[in-house]
Structure 1
Amino acid sequence: MSGVTASAARPRAGAGGSAGIGDVLALTGRHLRHLRRTPEKLIAVALTPVAMVVILGYLFASVITIKDSGGVEYHDYVMAGVFAQIGLTCVGITALGVASDLGKGLIDRFRSLPMARSSVLVSHTAADLVPAAVSMVAVAGIGLLVGWRTDAGVLSVAGGFALLLAFAYAMLWLGALLGMVLRNMEAINGISALTLVILSFMSNSFMPLSGLPGWLRTVVEWNPVSSVSEACRVLWGNAPASSGGSLPMQHPVLVSVITVAALIAVLIPVALRTFRTAAAR
């Protein structure tokens, strides 16, 4: 009997099937209940993108024009970049959450339970996708108020938002990995802020790339944020007239889908492997 009891109490390293799904749902529900008690997490994700919509899409729209725009207004152009910025904001949110759980010993308590270890990170990223989705709704509402409109079919517009959610999900796993590697709150804040600034402004999120030097333009075009932003513009009918460029700008939808899928395929197993080491420290 004692052998059976000890076996039952031992945490499952990789439980699957309905048991693993049940673990994920239970932990996701816990994170969402915690989110309801701490609405500032929603504000943190939405604040910067909403401010960018107001500043760039409303205040600056009257003084910024896009060369060879083909009739695309600046507030229509900039919205895709602002939506992509939400995914970058998620990096710091998840990194801080995972680091906090590790520091408080919460992960150790989870490991003592008979549950799939992978469910801890899977539930964390699933729950953190909710603030990202809510932020996208808020940004879309503000965008409509400042004049943003789409010029494409419903399925095409939905495809753009699906791509943004997939990109945000990839960034959530990047954040989980960052939180386990750094663990220090100050370091996480610094790295995540630097990631947000560099990847946002070294992209075509807010300005076209036609004025950049050749070598820098190539670097910026291969930034995943550039291809995701351009893909959303194409899917929403907000893309200016094509001015050539490298493969990501010629086929932004295809390149962004492949890039996001590759990021998810790489980041998830690396994060889960890192979690087994980090939780054992």
Structure 2
Amino acid sequence: MADQRVLITGSAGIVGTLMRPRLAKAGRVLRLLDLAEQTPAADGEAVEIVTGSVTDPDAMAKACEGVDALIHLGGHSRENSWEATLDVNINGTQVVLDAAQKAGIQRVILASSNHSVGFRRVDETPEGGHPADSSPRPDTYYGVSKAAIEALGSLYHDRFGMDVIAIRIGSCFESPLVLGPRGLVTWLSPDDGARLFEACLSAPSPGYKLIWGVSDNTRRLYSLTEAESLGYKSLDNAEVYAEQLKDKPLPSGGEWLGGPFCTAPLGHFNPI
């Protein structure tokens, strides 16, 4: 049986670096695309290192050749100027989706963010958490770009029949400690992240789907129903770190899902 080839854009970023060893498996080749320098393949590691930009149509067309599935993590991962956000996050995603469609890739996973709905209020959280398909309420230019990415995914599904899953990721780090108390709500453990991506890669005919990307945290504000319908099962909980965070100050913007992104200046690098 031929190897499954999965293209990961933005593979040198935080999430891409965490997923590289966790998504490795027998019968799978990871094609890793980023502009940043990447660690060369280790002995026995089934990876292909590609240097390129998501905004470059020719580079993306070449990167998509022979690919079975695409995980699109590439782009600015924090608030930036409108011009940079538009160019890389929005235009770049259109370039990626166009290249995938022309290459015949039928399974695309898009990294969206909790910041696409950051101005939804915490005190309006329904039982079970905010639904994954809550309409956009972005908190920043970055959040706007993630809402646009979701819309582009919907368009490419409806126009071309591609299976597209947009994941509204909370915060994926080795531990929630880097996030402070907010991490007890938003954390997606790296192991759970890999479980979620595996579910997205293997779920039969998901169509277009919006899901939350978080662990089953005691304090989570997000519904896991949609992700679980694809086969995701969280095994981690940020609450195990609660004692270490009990004396840390709460960030501003705690009344909204977007937290401090809701109070930081537009167009400037924001806190996590």
Report the TM-score when normalising by structure 2: 0.27
Higher share of residues assigned helix? 1
Relative to its length, the structure with more strand (as a share) is 2
Normalising by the residue count of structure 1, what TM-score does the alignment of the two structures yield? 0.26
